[in-house]
């Protein structure tokens, strides 16, 4: 069985930042592997270690800069990586769900995985939609917000739990091939070992452009255009206590006593 894991390099933002035009200024941005995708990679690697999966392949849509982040997944046990990028994607303000679906579908059609694992959402633009959209586009079954997967995958069925609101889980059987969007907490993602990091440098990282995937330039025009970005107007009337720790802790203690706490 082959598992494809979609992994995204997300932008992280410092506490204090400035917006320039319709983006956060570069100097306040960092990069990381999307938290949800880290759990998806771990789940795939555990399936391989359990002898259920033979191969774990990652796929990323992103420019060359993100290769260091992709290698993190290889260091944790993925076998090889695919990175999709093209000049035609450069300069777009937003890669919408439709564009990502178009590109990832082409990869799924090439690779024909039995199982695709994505994150529930990406930490930066948080569409929470790419996995299910991809599933429908390639004609796979799916389940969104999965926080448990039975590892036997017997008879071509994945038994999963979907985490609903309010501490309720739904028990669902999904026919393979399928896309599962993975929720945090499903496992304990490992840290890459030094050996893993060394090995990752030698693993295959294949770069594909639109031509290689057989996708038309017209198909990667984002239907969504980002037109404004601003800091949300605060409706808050928060009282901020200033001063040294003794002073602020004293004020909070006084408030708590006034509210009848610990009396």
Partner 1 sequence: MTDVLAVADHRRGELRDVSYELITAGRVLANDTGGDLHVAVISGTVDEFAEKCNREGVDAVHTVEYGEEFDHGVYTQTTVQLADELDPQYVLLPNSVNGLDYAPAVASRLEVPIVTDVVDLESDGETLIATREMYGGKVETTVELGSPAVATVRGAEWPAAEGTGDATIERFDVDIDEDALGATVNGFEEVAGGDVDISDADVLVSVGRGIEEEENLEIIRDLADALDATVSSSRPIVDNGWLPKNRQVGQSGKVVTPDVYIAIGISGAVQHVAGMKGSDTIVAINTNPNAPIMDIADYAIHDDLFDVVPALTEQFQ
Ligand X SMILES: Nc1ncnc2c1ncn2[C@@H]1O[C@H](COP(=O)(O)O)[C@@H](O)[C@H]1O
Q: How far apart are CA 41 and CA 33, in angstroms?
A: 11
**Axis-axis angle for helices 97-111, 130-138 (nearest 10):** 50
- Matching residue, tokens 């200033």: 242
Residue 6's binding partner out of ligand FAD, partner 1, ligand X, none, with CB under 5 to 8 Å set by partner kind: ligand X
Question: Which x/- pattern, by CB under 6 A, does the window 1-40 give for ligand FAD?
Answer: ----------------------------------------
Which of 51, 166 has the CB closer to partner 1? 166
Which of 81, 103 has the CB closer to partner 1? 103
Question: Binding to ligand FAD by residue 144, rule CB under 6 A?
Answer: no
Residue 118's binding partner out of ligand FAD, ligand X, partner 1, none, with CB under 5 to 8 Å set by partner kind: ligand X
Tokens encoding 205: 């990282």
Question: Binding to ligand FAD by residue 75, rule CB under 6 A?
Answer: no
Which residues make up the interface to ligand X (CB under 6 A)? 6-8, 34, 36-37, 60-62, 97, 100, 118-119, 121-122, 125-131
The most distant pair of C-alpha atoms in the chain lies apart, rounded to whole Å, by 72
Instruction: Give the residue from 27, 51, 57 showing the smallest Cα distance to 151.
Output: 51
Question: Binding to ligand FAD by residue 101, rule CB under 6 A?
Answer: no
Which of 81, 117 has the CB closer to partner 1? 117
Question: Binding to ligand FAD by residue 145, rule CB under 6 A?
Answer: yes
Residues 6+ apart with CB under 8 A from 56: 2, 3, 5, 41, 44, 45, 47, 48, 77, 78, 79
Q: Which residue is nearest to ligand X (CB)?
A: 119
Q: How far apart are CA 172 and CA 164, in angstroms?
A: 12
Q: Which of 46, 58, 121, 133 binds ligand FAD (CB under 6 A)?
A: 121
Cβ contact 5:44 at 8 Å: yes
Residue 153's binding partner out of partner 1, ligand X, ligand FAD, none, with CB under 5 to 8 Å set by partner kind: none
Instruction: Give the residue from 41, 66, 62 showing the smallest Cα distance to 196.
Output: 41
CA angle 119, 39, 80 (to 5 degrees): 85
Report the nearest approach of partner 1 to the CB of residue 201 (Å).
29
Residue 170's binding partner out of ligand X, partner 1, ligand FAD, none, with CB under 5 to 8 Å set by partner kind: partner 1
Residue 111's binding partner out of ligand X, partner 1, ligand FAD, none, with CB under 5 to 8 Å set by partner kind: none
**Axis-axis angle for helices 67-75, 194-202 (nearest 10):** 120
Task: Catalog residues that contact ligand FAD under the rule CB under 6 A.
Answer: 120-121, 145
């Amino acid at each position: 069985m082959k598992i494809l894991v979609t992994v995204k390099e997300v932008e992280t933002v410092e506490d204090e930042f400035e917006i320039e035009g319709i983006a956060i200024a570069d100097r306040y941005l960092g990069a990381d592997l999307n938290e949800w995708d880290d759990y998806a990679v771990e789940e795939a690697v555990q399936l391989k270690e359990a002898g259920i999966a033979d191969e774990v392949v990652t796929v990323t849509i992103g420019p060359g800069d993100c290769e260091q982040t992709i290698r993190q997944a290889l260091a944790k046990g993925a076998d090889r990586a695919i990175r999709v990028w093209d000049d035609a994607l450069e300069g777009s303000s937003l890669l919408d769900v439709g564009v990502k679906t178009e590109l990832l579908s082409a990869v799924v059609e090439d690779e024909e995985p039995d199982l695709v694992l994505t994150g529930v959402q990406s930490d930066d633009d948080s569409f929470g939609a790419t996995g299910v959209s991809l599933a429908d586009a390639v004609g796979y079954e799916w389940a969104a917000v999965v926080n448990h997967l039975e590892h036997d995958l017997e008879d071509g069925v994945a038994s999963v739990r979907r985490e609903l609101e309010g501490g309720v889980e739904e028990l669902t059987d999904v026919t393979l091939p399928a896309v599962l969007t993975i929720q945090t907490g499903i496992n304990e993602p490992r840290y890459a070992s030094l050996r893993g990091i060394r090995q990752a440098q030698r693993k295959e990282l294949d770069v594909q452009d639109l031509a290689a995937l057989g996708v038309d330039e017209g198909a990667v025009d984002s239907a969504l255009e980002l037109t404004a970005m601003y800091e949300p107007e605060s409706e808050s009337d928060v009282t901020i206590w200033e001063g040294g720790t003794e002073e602020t802790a004293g004020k909070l203690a006084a408030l708590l006593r006034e509210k009848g706490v610990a009396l």
